[in-house]
């Protein structure tokens, strides 16, 4: 094969956010298929210190060239500290008009600093280094992973300048994302145009599921859209038999607006009320949320919050569980994708309880027979499902998922599919491609 691929991704190990694992799997397994890989990413200091794992970085093969650039956006420090200042606002009831105007101006400046996202300055700083890498190493294909979406804007610029085939991978919707809002209408319109421009300019668009594929089609593109979901690296997991002891339920990941745990807290309280002996025999672990997370408030006192874990420690926690919990507190009208954690849960081969509205997450759990689905607005149904799993465990009837469909999401299989897409965009119609630098040979 011997093609060169430039992977542009802000998140890459040692970062442990979900977006790091897609490019890691590509960088790890593509060289075995004959590809030469360069990765343009952020420096370790650009990531929150509690979201890094240096052991992950050691998985990158020595043949892969990793180039790191710092994020120059001063808004990073502001974003990390703003939660400290929000608690003060309620005590400042007498605010002058001048302070209000200054606050409004500050909000507008923050909006500009976040355009098209908080990591846009990093993407802009990558333009010249990326051009150098492409020309110096005769890179054949450009791949950008988002979010952050500045990576796609960079890919768009590189495509127009060099004419190289470009694959844009959407891990979340951009302008259709309910979690992204703009106070400035002009910036929102510009984001809409950029999103549409990216979608129509890329040689191929990769998405995680059909919900994202529909978002791309809504932007006017039907062909060249590939569903390429998250997956798992089998090297990270060595599934074991179900452990003995107390019935252990584990949730892995962050807590935020669409992962609100209060329905879980309420379900556990109902089990405590109706089946106190069963509840006493349950061990509940939340791996990920830091001590400062406000959504930990109201949790039953026996829930074990471990804080962020190294990835190997997380794999051990999943193996030490009887039931894995995934919850998505959204309405069925909202557009949401299947969480990255579901695929790592698959790799651990543990039953899954998905607390979610009807949609792609519920569909995937049912299709692969991974466990049960309970509605996210019904704590009684969630408690009933937990008790069903508990009863099966006590009766020796708790079954581990064994669907053959799980193997389709393993990294080696997914990377082979990615390689096929690379070859498609490189061959195309054998047409001559050109950019601002001239024809591509």
Q: Is the pLDDT of residue 102 over 80?
A: no
**pLDDT tier at 88 (50, 70, 90 boundaries)?**
very low
pLDDT at 282 over 80: yes
Q: Name the residue with higher pLDDT: 11 or 18.
A: 11
Let me know whether 187 and 245 are in one domain.
Answer: no
Q: How far apart are CA 323 and CA 392, in angstroms?
A: 11
Residues 241, 213: one domain?
A: no
pLDDT of residue 2: 82
Q: Which residues constitute the domain of residue 68?
A: 4-75+114-231+410-439
Which of 3-17, 285-299, 427-441 has the least mean pLDDT?
427-441
Count CB-CB contacts under 10 A for residue 243: 12
Q: For the segment 313-338, what is each residue's pLDDT rounded down to a tens digit? A: 999 999 999 999 998 887 666 666 78
Same domain, yes or no: 246 and 206: no
Q: Please check whether residues 155 and 224 belong to one and the same domain.
A: yes
Of all residues in the chain, the percent with pLDDT exceeding 90 is: 58
Per the CB < 8 A criterion, the answer to whether 369 and 403 are in contact is yes
Residue 405 lies in a domain: no
Domain membership of residue 85 (yes or no) is no
Residues 25 and 70 in one domain: yes
Both tokens assigned to 8: 């542009």
Q: Is pLDDT of 99 > 70? A: no
Domain check: are 355 and 432 in the same one? no
Can you give the pLDDT at residue 114? 62
pLDDT value, residue 89: 39
**Lowest-confidence range among 98-107, 191-200, 287-296?**
98-107
Domain assignment present for residue 13? The answer is yes
What mean pLDDT do residues 130-142 have?
97
Specify if 47 maps to a domain: yes
Residue 80 lies in a domain: no
**DSSP classification of residue 167:** E
- Check pLDDT > 80 for residue 98: no
Kindly state whether residue 401 falls inside one of the protein's structural domains: no
With bands split at pLDDT 50, 70 and 90, how would you rate the model's confidence at 343?
very high
Question: Are 380 and 432 members of one domain?
Answer: no
Over residues 223-260, the pLDDT tens digits come to 899 999 899 999 998 888 899 999 999 999 888 767 88
165 occurs within a structural domain: yes
Number of domains in the chain: 2
pLDDT-derived band at 110 (thresholds 50, 70, 90) equals low
Query: Do 332 and 184 share a structural domain?
Result: no
Query: Do both 158 and 280 map to the same domain?
Result: no
**17 falls within a domain:** yes
User: In this structure, are residues 215 and 173 in contact, taking their beta carbons and an 8 Å threshold?
Assistant: yes
> pLDDT at position 431, please?
42
- pLDDT for residue 115: 67
Give the pLDDT band of residue 101 (cuts 50, 70, 90): very low
Q: Where are the alpha helices (DSSP H) in 87-126?
A: 97-113, 120-125
60 and 200 assigned to the same domain: yes
Neighbours of 276 (CB within 10 A): 10
Give the residue with greater pLDDT, 306 vs 182: 306
Query: What's the pLDDT tens digit per position in 152-183?
Result: 999 999 999 999 999 999 988 777 666 666 67
Residue closest to 228 by CA, chosen among 206, 203, 205? 206
Q: Tell me: do 226 and 240 sit in the same domain.
A: no
- Mean pLDDT of all residues in the chain? 85
| CATH number for 198 | 3.40.50.2000
Residue range 338-355: average pLDDT? 92
Same structural domain, 238 and 227: no
């Amino acid at each position: 094969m011997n093609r060169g691929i430039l992977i542009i991704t802000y998140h890459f190990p040692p970062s442990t956010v979900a977006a790091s694992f897609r490019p890691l799997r590509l960088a790890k397994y593509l060289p075995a298929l004959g590809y030469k890989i360069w990765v343009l990413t952020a420096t370790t200091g650009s990531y929150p210190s509690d979201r890094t794992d240096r052991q992950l970085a050691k998985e990158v093969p020595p043949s892969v060239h990793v180039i790191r650039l710092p994020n120059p956006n001063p808004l990073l420090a502001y974003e990390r500290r703003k939660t400290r200042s929000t608690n003060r606002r309620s005590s400042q009831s007498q605010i002058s008009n001048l302070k209000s105007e200054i606050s409004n101006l500050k909000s507008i400046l923050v909006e500009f600093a976040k355009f098209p996202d908080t990591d846009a300055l990093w993407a802009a700083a990558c333009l010249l280094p990326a051009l150098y890498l492409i020309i110096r190493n005769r890179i054949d294909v450009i791949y950008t992973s988002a979010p952050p979406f500045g990576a796609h804007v960079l890919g768009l610029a590189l495509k127009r300048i060099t004419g190289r085939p470009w694959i844009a991978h959407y891990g979340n919707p951009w302008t259709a994302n309910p979690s992204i809002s703009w106070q400035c209408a002009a910036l929102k319109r510009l984001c809409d145009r950029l999103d549409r421009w990216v979608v129509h300019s890329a040689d191929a668009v990769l998405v995680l599921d059909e919900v994202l594929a529909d978002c791309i089609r809504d932007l006017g593109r039907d062909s060249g859209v590939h569903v390429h979901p998250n997956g798992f690296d089998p090297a990270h997991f060595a599934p074991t038999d179900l452990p003995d002891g107390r019935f252990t339920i584990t949730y892995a990941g962050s807590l935020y607006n669409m992962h609100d745990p209060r329905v879980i807290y309420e379900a556990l309280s109902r089990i405590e009320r109706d089946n106190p002996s069963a509840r006493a025999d349950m061990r509940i672990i939340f791996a990920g949320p830091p001590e400062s997370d406000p959504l930990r408030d109201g949790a039953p006192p026996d829930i074990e919050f471990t804080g962020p874990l190294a990835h190997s420690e997380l794999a051990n926690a999943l193996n030490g569980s009887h039931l894995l919990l995934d919850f998505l507190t959204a309405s069925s009208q909202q557009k949401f994708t299947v969480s990255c954690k579901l695929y790592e849960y698959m790799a651990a081969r543990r039953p899954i309880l998905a607390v979610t509205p009807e949609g792609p997450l519920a569909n995937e759990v049912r299709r692969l027979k991974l466990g049960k689905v309970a509605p996210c607005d019904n704590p009684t149904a969630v408690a009933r499902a937990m008790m069903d799993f508990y009863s099966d465990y006590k009766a020796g009837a708790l079954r581990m998922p064994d669907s053959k469909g799980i193997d389709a999401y393993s990294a080696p299989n997914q990377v082979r599919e990615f390689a096929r897409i690379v070859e498609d965009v490189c061959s195309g119609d054998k047409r001559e491609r050109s950019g601002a630098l001239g024809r591509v040979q």
